[in-house]
Every structure is written in structure tokens, then in C-alpha cells.
Amino acid sequence: MHPMDGLMLEQVPLAGLAAAVGTPLWVLSAGTLRRRLAALRGALDAALPGMVAIHYAMKANDHLAVLRIMAAGGAGADVVSGGELARAQAGGINPADIVFSGVGKTRAEMGQALADGVGMINVESAEELTRLSAVAVATGRRARIALRVNPDVDAATHAKITTGLAENKFGIAWADAAGLYAHAAGLAGLEPVGLAVHIGSQILSLAPYRAAYARVAGLIGDLRAAGQVVRHLDCGGGLGIGYDGAAELPAAAFAGALRAELGGLGLRLSVEPGRWLVGPAGLLLASVIQPKRGVGRRFVVLDAAMNDLLRPALYDAWHGIVPVSAVDALAPVSAADVVGPVCESGDIFARARALPELAEGALVALLDGGAYGAVMSSGYNARPAAAQVLVDGSRWAVIRRRPPVQSLWAGDICPPWL
């Protein structure tokens, strides 16, 4: 096909990008990132003017270009490792606008967070409280903390991305929360300022949010009645998107739930969206290596694989798959399994997907890949990472080069006796 034909992202033809950079190729839309961040900011300000901060959950996509766009749009960051803390700052996010979450922070990471001056540390256990107090005292600093509580609310999402049930590893058990908050107030080097809650990811219903926030609101009332200071609530993230055509949760509806359950408590609130902001902004562009006929099945073998986009193999996740060529898109369709070349039976992007006949070299786009796509990729089967491109209107630029195959073993060290 001609490089100027077919599907476009913003004003840039995908076929032209494939011709210039090759495939597999991640393509990200700067305009979509800005629009979605602005839409969420507008919904929150309309519902709760000046009361809600946005901390981008950067585990969804931690590219520096993404972080710069988020910072320019007024977002801080939610980080879950020392590496993410350093990366957020390299992307232009002020440490005071960073919340450090995570169930297993090391003492070194705690010290780094305190030295950098992060806005808040979300603490998830009594043991972590003790360690953080010791680190704060040893470094002569004071840690602003929120206790992450586990409300035991089912987010009705995939088992591997639910975090708010009592059986999950995250957060402080509900029965222990009030006593632990009082205990934290008496520990040296700590300043408890509030609570945090996060019940899971890819949530498409308001009901679990409202249930969790209502329960936390009751706990805040109990803490205040006992004389504790509670000024802040980190409301978590988890807003889902419509991978399979289902309606996503509108930003205005989520903001309305915050107002309904928490608006009268005089709290400073924060939210931690990730997927909702970046998921629809990205896609994975791939070429057909070959069509293949099996026993009673039709396969389309791509040059992208599970090492590039792990979500289907890990979560049985759905991603829309569309031909880039306008001619292919209008051709008759039949069921096909879309697979990658990796030597694993799980290297499957889709089963029985309605697609036209696709010849060798045809281009397809795997949609809604901006979140948990490139950031989860690996070099499995000695496959170098896909290149990445950012489009912005009619402009585009390579934002991560495709590494040479030699880079896969550049860090290997053979012992001298071999």
C-alpha cells in the first residue's frame, strides 16, 4: 500500500510510519493525552472546585514524553518504586506533587522519597510504619503519610487487577485501620494526614467506587471523633476504558461519585488515573508475517508478539485489531486467530476475530495499547523492544529507537573460567 493511504492517528498516516520506522511499532497520540487529561480536570473542577489533585499513575506508561505532557497539563505522579520516583522527576514532575505508593518499599526507597521531598507516602502495613519511622528519624526528616486501607470491596474486575478485597496483598485490614492511625500519630518522624484507598483497575461501574468511598467516609468520621486529624483522602484510580466497545466510565460520573460520597467532609482529595488517560492514546502497529491455515482454523501471524504486548497472554485482555489499509478494511471478513511468532502457545492476541484476508506485509493496528503495553514489554525470545513514535497533529518523532539485537546481551558477563 502507499505510505500515505489508510488509517491515520491524528494527521499522520500509519502506513507512512511503518515505512519510515518499521514494525512492530508503538504509536502514541499527544493530542489524545492532552484532551483526556483536560477532560478529567474539567470534570473534577466542575464537581469539586479546587479540591481534587490528579496524580498520574505512571506505571501505565512511564515514557518521559508522556510524563512531560502530564506535567504540562498540571498532573503530579503516583509512583511505586524508587526508579519511578527518579523517572517522574526526570519527566518534569515536582517531587511535592508525587505520591509514593506500593506494598513493599525498601528502606533505601523510603530514604530517597524523604530526601527528594515527596508530597506524601502511602503506608500499607504496621511493619512499614515502623520502618518508615526509623528511616525518618535516622535522616532527620518528617514523613507526611496516609494509611492505605483495604475496604474489602469487590471492584468486579479481573482477579489479577483487583486490589480492594481482604484477600489481596494491598492495604491495611479494615479492622486494624483506626488503631493503626492512632499508633502512627505517636511515632517519631511521621505526620499522618489522611487515608488512601484503591480497589482495582479497569473499573467500569460506579457502584464499587461509591461503596468504597462511603465506607472510608465512615472511618474518617470515626477517626475525627476520636481526636485524630484527617485532612486528605487519596481516592485511588482504576477508571476503565472500553477495550471491546463497552462504554467507559465517564469522567463526569466518577467526579459525581466523589462529590456525593466525600464532598461534605472538608477533605483535600487526590485521584490516581493511569489507564483512562493513556490507554486510548496508543496503538501497536504490526505487519503480517504470513497467513496460515490450520486444521479448521485460520491464523494471521504478526511480527508483534507477547513480548511487545503482554496483556492478552497475561489477562486474556481484548484489544481491537483493525487493518490499516482502506482496501483491506472493506474486504469480506471471516474468523481468524491473530498470533505472534514467539515460541509459546499463549502468544495470541485474539481468537476467532472477524478480519479480512491479510496477505504478507499487510499492516494492522492493535488498539488501546497506550497503557500497560510498551512499559510491560520484554526481550523474550531475544526480540528487541519495538520502537516508539509520538504523533502531535501533523508532526511525528521517534521517541524510542529500536535497539540493535546486540543490546540484548550487552550487559551479560561471563565468568572468567568459561
The per-residue pLDDT for range 213-253, each reduced to its tens digit, is 999 999 999 999 999 999 999 999 999 999 998 889 899 99
Domain boundary among 278, 308, 341: 278
Residue 1 in domain: no
Indicate whether 183 and 273 sit together in one domain. yes
For residue range 15-30, list pLDDT tens digits in order.
999 999 999 999 999 9
Q: What percent of the chain has pLDDT over 70?
A: 95
**Higher per-residue pLDDT: 220 or 2:** 220
Residue 50 in domain: yes
Q: What is the pLDDT of residue 170?
A: 62
Indicate whether 200 and 260 sit together in one domain. yes
Indicate whether 120 and 23 sit together in one domain. no
CB atoms within 10 A of CB 87: 18
Indicate whether 289 and 321 sit together in one domain. yes
Domain boundary among 278, 310, 338: 278
Indicate whether 96 and 204 sit together in one domain. yes
Average pLDDT over residues 288-304: 95
Helix (H), strand (E) at residue 175: helix 174-185
Domain boundary among 256, 278, 300: 278
Pair type for strands 25-29 and 387-392: parallel
Looking at residue 188, which CATH number applies to its domain? 3.20.20.10
Catalytic residues: 343
CB atoms within 10 A of CB 159: 10
Residue 417 in domain: no
**pLDDT at residue 200 greater than cutoff 90:** no
Residue 412 in domain: no
CA gap 96, 362 in Å, rounded: 48
Would you state the cell numbers that stand for residue 18, as one nine-digit string?
511503518
Residue 175 in domain: yes
Residue 415 in domain: no
Average pLDDT over residues 326-339: 94
For residue range 359-380, list pLDDT tens digits in order.
999 999 999 999 999 999 999 9
**Higher per-residue pLDDT: 225 or 159:** 225
Residue 255 belongs to domain spanning: 31-278
* Peptide bond before residue 323 is cis, with ω within 30 degrees of 0: no
Burial of 260 from C-beta contacts in 10 A (0-12 / 13-18 / 19+): middle
Residue 3 in domain: no
Indicate whether 157 and 303 sit together in one domain. no
Residue 338 in domain: yes
Q: What is the pLDDT of residue 164?
A: 41
Indicate whether 203 and 101 sit together in one domain. yes
DSSP H helix total and E strand total for the chain: 12, 20
Arithmetic mean of pLDDT over the chain: 94
**pLDDT at residue 285 greater than cutoff 50:** yes
Indicate whether 392 and 316 sit together in one domain. yes
What does pTM read for this prediction? 0.94
Looking at residue 336, which CATH number applies to its domain? 2.40.37.10
Q: Domain count for the chain, please give it.
A: 2
Indicate whether 198 and 222 sit together in one domain. yes
CA gap 277, 302 in Å, rounded: 27
Indicate whether 227 and 293 sit together in one domain. no
Indicate whether 109 and 229 sit together in one domain. yes
Indicate whether 142 and 64 sit together in one domain. yes
- Expressed in percent and rounded to 5, the helix, strand and coil fractions of the chain are 35, 25, 40
